Amino acid sequence: MDFLTSYLAWIAVTVTTVVFTAGIYTQLRRREAKLRARKMTRALSKTHTILTAIEHVPDPLINRDLRRGLVLLLSHHVDVLNQTNPDHAHLNALQNRVAQINRMPSGLKKVKLRSKIERRHASTALEELAKLLKDATVEGELERRDGSLAEASAKFTGQQIAVETARQSAKDAENIRAYPQALHFAQQARQLCRNLPPMVGGKLMESVSADIERLESRLGHPTKI
């Protein structure tokens, strides 16, 4: 009787242990699956956001440091997608797109964004890329040096576009003889020049200062119709 009781107790403990272990294993598998799904979703979302932003920035405006940072960040997210879902339908297309960006020439020619819409889209896209690169550096998805250089490049290019936008607005206002408005935009451009590195900002500052002097002289005389 004692043997039977002990045997039944052993069976009960064994069954309980198996059930408990199976429950823990199932929970761990579910948690792992959810984590893998979150990583995959995040990787897809980040790559989509980056590639969409890049479409609004002309290739020549993406210099070497910015291109390198973007390629490294995109490659990181593609690796995550490859680890979490190697059979994903978009994986091959993403790998090809990253390879295209990596081969893209940088800074070989100058480009001028002529319309306000183009400049606004490019400026917004560069701001978004700068933020993504900064976040990726903080989160350890990019090496600090690569991330910082790429972020600075995105900001620098965006600031150049902002100066050009303000200068173009000043020219447009001057063309219709709205000199007070033109002067306001020119002064705005001068303020934006102060955010640029001295070598570039200094040259632009000279041009903008000349614009301001010309407009101030215009305001000192009656407008001729």
The CB-based long-range contact list for 203-206 (8 Å cut-off, 24+ gap) reads: 204/163
As a whole number, the mean pLDDT across the chain is 83
Give the separation between CA 27 and CA 37, rounded to whole angstroms.
15
Percentage of the chain surpassing pLDDT 90?
A: 34
**pLDDT of res. 29:** 67
**pLDDT of res. 88:** 83
Asked if 170 and 209 count as a contact pair (C-beta separation under 8 A), the reply is: no
- Specify the DSSP element, H or E, that contains 4: helix 2-54
Percentage of the chain surpassing pLDDT 70?
A: 80
**pLDDT of res. 135:** 94
